[in-house]
Amino acid sequence: MARLLFTALLALACQTVFGHYQLTYPPSRGFDESREVIGPCGGFDSVSSNRTDFPLKNGFLEINSEHPKYTYKVNIAYGNKPTAADFSADTSVVAQGQVAYPSQSCLQVDLSSVKNATDGTLATLQIIYMAGDGDLYQCTDVTLKNEPSNFNTSACINADGSSPTKSGSTGSQPSSTNAASTIQAGGFMIMAAVVLSLVIA
């Protein structure tokens, strides 16, 4: 019984400490925190049957981050059923940047100067998120459109209140993600202390 309690507490603590991120818009192919490390799409290899229209100009991906600081890269792959290799061409990167606050962030993805991104093209957008605990993957299946019929522009929100057009522009990668690692190490210590005190009691 006590052992069960420890296990439950440990699982809870781990979940809190090791939160990652969710792609909240357009809808993710699928989310399973424990499989988010699996490329190219966080463990979800099947293409969604209902694609979201994605604007060629001024598009974005909205994510919810549990880490307070991270860098990210957005890759595009074309066609109905892209393979892992399709996301990793030199020409696949369509956005990258860094964010220094947790929770909601609107990552700008402007495809207007991407050569193969044309009206009506089927594509999959992949986010690779890096916050110090491995590359974490999410994907969304879209149809690229000049005039999207079902793209929700209101979903673009930055938790720090900054202008969405400024956040997530293609930018330089920071040299390290030490802040995130430090916070995680801190979480580890607290978790260890809690478990230890329970064992002693």
Ligand X SMILES: *[C@@H]1O[C@H](CO)[C@@H](O)[C@H](O)[C@H]1NC(C)=O
Residues 22-81, interacting with Cu ion (CB under 5 A): none
Nearer to Cu ion, 86 or 133 (CB): 133
Residue 4 CB, nearest distance to Cu ion (Å)?
Answer: 26
User: 37 touches which of ligand X, Cu ion, none (CB within 5 to 8 A by kind)?
Assistant: none
Strands (E), the chain: 21-25, 52-55, 59-65, 70-78, 93-99, 103-109, 122-130, 135-145
Verify binding: residue 20, Cu ion, rule CB under 5 A: yes
CB of 189 or CB of 198, closer to Cu ion: 189
The angle that helices 178-200 and 2-17 make with each other, rounded to 10 degrees, is 170
The Cα 140–Cα 199 span in angstroms is 44
* 133 interface partner picked from Cu ion, ligand X, none, CB below 5 to 8 A per type: Cu ion
Please report how close the Cβ of residue 13 comes to ligand X at its closest, in angstroms: 30
| Residue with smaller CB distance to Cu ion, 45 or 66 | 66
Q: Look at residues 187, 178, 177 and name the one whose alpha carbon lies nearest to residue 16.
A: 187
